[in-house]
Amino acid sequence: MKKIILFFVLIILLISFLFIPKKINKGDIDVARYINIVDEISDNYVQINWKYVVSIIAVLEKNKLSNVDDSYIESISKKFLIKKDDTYILNTLDNVLDLLDMTEKQKSLVYKYLNQLEFFGLYPNKLKPDTKYYDFINSIKEMAIKNYKDHKILPSITISQAILESGWGDSDLSKKYNNLFGIKANSSWEGDFVTVETSEFYNQKIQDKFRKYYSKEESINDHSKFLVENPRYRENGVFDANTYIYQANALEKAGYSTIENEKGEKIYADKLIELIRQYNLQLIDSMVQENLK
């Protein structure tokens, strides 16, 4: 009799094991779709983590991600927003799992899936820890987070601007003079400067003066000071922006860069947004905003 009971217990355990996928099915994740929907729900309130949404849905749907409709993604995303006065703050992952009445086993699996998605995104090969991209982002990540806490410039914006303006830290302006953001030395600048060639408009080169720094940290600190002290950035909503899409567009509107495409269209915000999405920089925003509550 004991052998029969043991046999059935083993069968039940085996069936249970087979019906709980231990690995998230990355092949069925339409990353761009999740990012677009999550960002739409984030609006200008607070940045929701798209990987949280994917992992939750993967558990609830037993890893069957190919047939998930947009409304389902939206409904899970909205659970990360908590109404407070006239706006929203970011709900924690643990709170959302409780709201969904997940079992401890399901909660554990959500976290396992998140670990599996650590270096996953639109272009996974660029997110690996043995790349120059990973190294550059991490070399200024903590400075960017401090910049946000002090001056409300989102980490994703600080990092993406540094990437774009310095060419991943490889530009002469960055390597020789620690100017990560291409900030010019106008008449009000009292520090050291250097004159270099730059692209001002599409396919047009000019000579201009740029600020010279003695460390990357000094460059990042001056970047935030530059934005705070120039009224046009506040007037154009840079400091009213809570998510990267809004802040990138506000910077462009304020005239941070005049870069255009061959049609004469401004493309600075689009370039920042593309970089942020490619390298999951918005997830840094989400992490910081969650911890600041």
**Segments making up each domain of the chain, as ranges:** 21-118, 127-291
Which of 39, 165, 222, 290 is catalytic? The answer is: 222
Residue 21 vs residue 215, higher pLDDT: 215
Q: Are 79 and 115 in contact (CB under 8 A)?
A: no
Q: Examine the residue annotation and report whether 98 is marked as an active-site residue of this protein.
A: no
Q: Examine the residue annotation and report whether 86 is marked as an active-site residue of this protein.
A: no
What tokens appear for 151 in the block? 């001056």
Residues 222-235: tens digit of each pLDDT: 999 999 999 999 99
Question: What is the overall mean pLDDT for the chain?
Answer: 91
What tokens appear for 117 in the block? 């998605």
Residue type, 38: V
Q: Is the pLDDT of residue 20 over 90?
A: no
pLDDT of residue 260: 87
Supply the pTM of this predicted model.
0.88
Model confidence at 201, pLDDT cuts 50, 70, 90, reads low
What tokens appear for 217 in the block? 């940290």
Which of 150, 200, 229, 240 is catalytic? The answer is: 200
Sign of the C-alpha dihedral computed for residues 78, 83, 88 and 94 taken in this order: negative
Q: Is the pLDDT of residue 13 over 70?
A: no
Give 127-291's CATH code, choosing from 3.40.630.10, 3.20.20.140, 1.10.530.10, 3.90.79.10. Answer: 1.10.530.10
Long-range pairs for 32-38 at CB < 8 Å and ≥24 separation? 32/122, 32/277, 33/70, 33/73, 34/73, 35/122, 35/277, 35/282, 37/70, 37/73, 37/74, 37/77, 38/73, 38/77
Determine which of 106-110, 187-191, 268-272 has the lowest per-residue pLDDT on average. 187-191
What tokens appear for 219 in the block? 């460059």
Residues 34-77: tens digit of each pLDDT: 999 999 999 999 999 999 999 999 999 999 998 899 999 999 99
